[in-house]
Chain A
Amino acid sequence: MDLSLSDEQQLIVDTVRRYVQDEIVPLEADLDPDAGELHPDDQARLIEKTREMGFYGLDIPKEFGGPGIDVTTRALMAIEMSQHRAGLYNPCYGTFGGAGLAQLYEATEDQKERYLFPTLRGEKKGCFALTEPSGGSDPARAIQTRGQRDGDEWILNGSKLYISGADKADFALVFARTSDDPGRNGVTAFIVDTDTPGFHVRRVVHTLRSTHYATELQFEEMRIPAANMLGEENRGFAIANDRLSRQRIPYAAGCLGAAIKAQEMAIDWAKNREAFGGLLAEKQAIQWMIVDNEIDIRHARYCILEAAQKADRGERFRTEAAMAKLVASEGSGRVVDRAIQIHGGVGVTKDLPLERWYRELRIRRIGEGPSEVQRLIMAREILGGSFK
């Protein structure tokens, strides 16, 4: 595997790195340590800048007007984009634009006109409503929200939990059980306008991620036009699997970016802080922590780039993407933990971004499928013989 960057990739990495250092980090000095948004004027100015750079909407597929960046370059960019305080969950405060819900790229032309294209133009926002109070890691079996056909409509009843952005979304992608099949073959996906009668955002759910809340939803006799069914009836889980695996790669890369920055901070601190008559960097206990950090960082980088390069070559990459997600989220958590230990007291204060990354990286081991599910994906492929 070739870990070296092409000239073009190096140029892109350098450009994004400068953008983060020159444009994003200085603004954070004046924001609350937990801030998740820029001032609207700064946001607008920086979006203009990323448009000029040709990077706006970088996750939009080329056939839909995106810049057509390959997965490897996208991963390299994600590593850079997350190297600031809010970078894990809001890399560069969204100034590179979004791509909307991956499942919408598999929608009908009518659905794309009504939901995907307005999302790409920034006119609409969507949210993803899958997890329920009955469970999230095995949603195919946990889903209890029911959908019943009634002529040209579907009637949905049930609830969803830990849903991000539902209170601000124009539409939600809702998964509901539509047959007696207790597993994945009984679930259908629907696009639901959030102003539909019966759609309720019942409460805010506070988490470790104190910048951003999740919500709990309730659906009461919610009537959805049959034209808003996404994909085939009872085949809601088959939609966009490839795109979802692809998303795990920049997700992993975001974790790695925070770890790289934490390691830089730890090294800098160790080389300047004195204790017991010498620099921290001279103590073996500290040296070993720095080395263990480097091992975790390089391991994650290798897994991420391997998954990305396989995806770019058009090969199967499901196992590699799962491994990258697992290795990067768990390893980066360890790196930030050690960086805090090296810093001592100041490491847990809000003066530094380490405490925020520490909290947010704990969530990354659960989001986008917990580590155990990633192992399950890999085990199926390895033991099933499809991995060679």
Chain B
Amino acid sequence: MTKPVVELTETTIDALPAQLGVYEIVDLTGATIKIGYAGGRETFGMRTALHRELSDDIAGGLRFRHEFTHGYLTRWQELLMLYEADHGALPPGNADHLGTLGRLSPLSVDPAPTGSNSWI
């Protein structure tokens, strides 16, 4: 994901459109805590998913970045695989991931050939 991270607050979340997509939660040091998605069952898309993350943020201070995409499931899996390829493990918030993840050996950190989401 290439967007800059912003603070995870009621204000920043409510400013988002209620669309579907993927997001990344990071801590104050910039380390990725969790990669999630706002799927088709979320009442208000990205807003609902991020509000849930905010309510789980007991200590406060988390940040996030996001991408809107209808291919949220495949993009989410791709982001998890890229993270695992870089770090050797999943982010702590995804440690209970149930499905089988594939293995990628990307040439670069973000291998999307034409910046598939860069226009968002």
Contact = CB atoms under 8 A, between A and B. Distances in A.
| Binding site secondary structure of chain A | loop
Contacts of B74: 204, 206, 210-213
Contacts of A210: 70-74
Contacts of B75: 206
A34 B73 contact: yes
B77 A204 contact: yes
A167 B111 CA distance: 15
A167 B72 contact: no
B1 interface: no
Q: How big is the A interface, by class?
A: 20 to 34
A32 B100 contact: no
Nearest to A351: B40
A202 interface: yes
B41 interface: yes
Contacts of A33: 39-41
A211 B112 CA distance: 18
B70 A202 contact: no
Contacts of B73: 32, 34-36, 210-211
A37 B99 contact: yes
| Binding site secondary structure of chain B | loop
A37 B73 CA distance: 11
Given A34-B72, A210-B72, A213-B74, A202 B105 contact: yes
Contacts of A18: none
Q: How big is the B interface, by class?
A: 20 to 34
A167 B84 CA distance: 13
A158 to B, nearest CB: 16
A39 B105 contact: no
B50 interface: no
B115 interface: no
Contact of A203 (B41, B77, B106): B106
A168 interface: yes
B99 A202 contact: no
Contacts of A165: 102
A39 to B, nearest CB: 7
Interface in A323-366: 350
A207 B78 CA distance: 13
Interface in A302-330: none
Given A32-B73, A210-B74, A168 B40 contact: no
Question: Which of B77, B104, B106 has the most C-beta atoms of chain A within 10 angstroms of its own C-beta?
Answer: B104
Interface in A163-216: 165-168, 194, 200-204, 206-207, 210-213, 215
B78 A204 contact: yes
A202 B81 contact: no
20 contacts: A32-B39, A32-B41, A33-B39, A34-B40, A36-B73, A39-B98, A40-B98, A167-B102, A167-B103, A167-B104, A168-B103, A194-B103, A201-B102, A203-B104, A206-B75, A206-B78, A210-B73, A211-B73, A213-B74, A213-B78
Interface of B: 39-41, 70-75, 77-78, 81, 98-107, 111-113, 116
Interface of A: 32-37, 39-40, 165-168, 194, 200-204, 206-207, 210-213, 215, 350
